[in-house]
Structure 1
């Protein structure tokens, strides 16, 4: 069965923008003469299984907890990272430049106040660095809000060279996970899952090696059910 972009995105539980980016990267889908993307449902299901993604079987399926797609109670981090994707292009020469680029590219709500989000991120860094050590940072706004993203969103950036983040261990940061969540309980859930997968030596190695986003997402999907 052939699916258009919106139907395929609903099935995977990701935004159309995320699915369009995956299609541009050649991961799945075909480009039609009209310029739109088309997807074969059987191929899409096979791709999702191989990447550990849970499908949203019914268009009207309800979320298990506010602001998430069906099945996300079991894999909130996997879905949040698939929505947020990875930063494309130049990462900037400083922490603040990188955060500005991430906010510019993040698939936020259409009416989201991006300057306000950036200000919250910088204010949060001013209180205490979100550099956790071992080259990892997890910037997030002080107050989760659905006005920025109605669904959990995690965006990855892999700055090269690594950036000074003011981390307690003094190490420069090579992997940045921007967390934008609609409410505090959702934020804590996603944060705890990310902390869990970061304990995996194989996952840490992928980040140090600046592996592809697809490899990183696949590893998250494999690890998260064990959390």
Structure 2
């Protein structure tokens, strides 16, 4: 579903002038059709979650598919990896994907190509030294193959983040559909707003420490949703 300037302004609770400014500064995903700006709803949803922006309405439905997305399970499938080498975005993504647990039947060259294509559209940097690389469209259909691969970089790399901070950790997300992708992205964003989790990132904590913390946070937000 495509949105107009007015729709996005109302959703984000800002003026239309602000939306035009964000377009000019390439801060918001948009496209131009017949001399008018249009916005893909899924792209805006993802952008909102990535940037932790308040909206005037829920951005995705709590369907059965979104409720079952499990960040801890996804992290265990994708794995936590350390000392990923590289000095450019392309080098980092190639070396990171070489380490991750790829879903059956999906070759790593394909994953890298789609990650780079998405990155060329707009940075996946979340800010505070974190990026969430992912394909624009799902590469898998089986939800049991979904994964999040957490990759600590050997050194910070410029991902053109809005806060100008170089990236030192990646969360590579492979999801089965857009609703589940948004749910996983929301859970990662939630974790990254926690001082305790950011401290684990800062000291590149052991895998089980990260799994344990994420598991406790998951139980906490599930409790508050009951």
User: For the superposition of Structure 1 and Structure 2, which TM-score range results when normalised by the shorter chain?
Assistant: 0.5 to 0.7
**Aligned residues: CA RMSD:** 2.4
Matched, 1:226 2:225: no
| Match runs of 1:24-173 below 5 Å | 73=68, 76-88=70-82, 90-146=84-140, 150-173=144-167
* Superposition deviation, residue 87 in structure 1: 2.4
Q: 1:155: Cα distance to partner?
A: 0.4
Q: Distance between the aligned counterparts of 1:105 and 1:186, measured in 2?
A: 24
Is the 1:137–1:173 contact (alpha carbons within 8 Å) kept by the matching residues of 2?
yes
Q: Judging changes above 3 Å, is the alpha-carbon distance between structure 1 residues 138 and 123 closer, same or farther for their aligned structure 2 residues?
A: same
Instruction: Please tell me whether residue 184 in structure 1 is matched to residue 178 in structure 2.
Output: yes
2:18 maps to none
How many angstroms does 1:92 deviate by? Answer: 2.2
Tell me how far apart the structure 2 counterparts of residues 93 and 213 of structure 1 sit (CA, whole Å).
Answer: 24
CA distance in 1, matches of 2:110, 2:70: 25
TM-score normalised by length of structure 2 = 0.64
| Partner Cα separation in structure 2 for residue 108 and residue 65 of structure 1 | 25
Where in structure 2 are there 5+ consecutive unaligned residues? 1-62, 222-226
Q: Secondary structure at the match of 1:108?
A: coil
In structure 2, relative to structure 1, the CA distance for the partners of 1:65 and 1:109 (3 Å cut) is farther
How big is the shift at 1:135? 0.6
1:137 Cα deviation after fit: 0.5
Q: Which has the higher strand share?
A: 2
8 Å contact 1:112–1:148 — kept in the other structure?
no
Q: How has the CA–CA distance of structure 1 residues 175 and 90 changed in structure 2, closer, same or farther, with 3 Å as cutoff? A: closer
Q: What TM-score does the superposition give when structure 1 sets the normalisation length?
A: 0.63
* CA shift in 2, pair 1:167/1:89, >3 Å: closer
Contact 1:156–1:175 (Cα < 8 Å) also in 2: yes
- 2:126 and 2:165 map into 1 onto residues whose CA distance is 9
Shift of 1:77: 0.2
Within the candidate set 138, 155, 174, 2:168 is matched to: 174
State the Cα deviation string for residues 66-93 of structure 1 (Å, max 9, x = none).
Answer: 6x9xxx82x6000000111122554222
**Paired residues, what number?**
159
